[in-house]
Amino acid sequence: MIKEERQHATEKSSTILDQLNSLKQEDETLYNILAVDVWALAKTMDEFQPGFWAAFMKNRDKALKRFISEVIKNKPANPKRPPFLR
């Protein structure tokens, strides 16, 4: 009886692990597809408007810095957390 339960639990865990591995592979595939799409867009735009990618990356850098400063500014202070996590 116990052996059967263990075997059933093992089968369930292997099924769950298979599903997780499948999801990880699908996620990686999607990430790679998006990377190719962004590269193709940037390459095409650079052909039509030289310097597009450099300008885009400068704007992205500014936007990211602004976003991080807003998140930090609006983050509630929790004195119980260590200083490096506040």
The structure's pTM equals 0.51
Sign of CA dihedral 23, 29, 33, 34: positive
- Which residues, including other chains, have CB under 8 Å from residue 86's CB and lie 6 or more apart? 75, 77, 78
Structure tokens at 40: 């193709």
The average confidence (pLDDT) of the chain is 86
Is 4 a residue whose pLDDT tops 80? no
Q: Rounded to an integer, what distance in angstroms lies between the CA atom of residue 74 and that of residue 1?
A: 56
Work out the pLDDT band at 3, boundaries 50, 70, 90: low
List, for residues 38-70, the tens digit of each pLDDT value.
999 989 998 999 998 899 899 999 999 999 999
List the chain domain ranges: 2-85
- Which residues, including other chains, have CB under 8 Å from residue 52's CB and lie 6 or more apart? 42, 45, 46
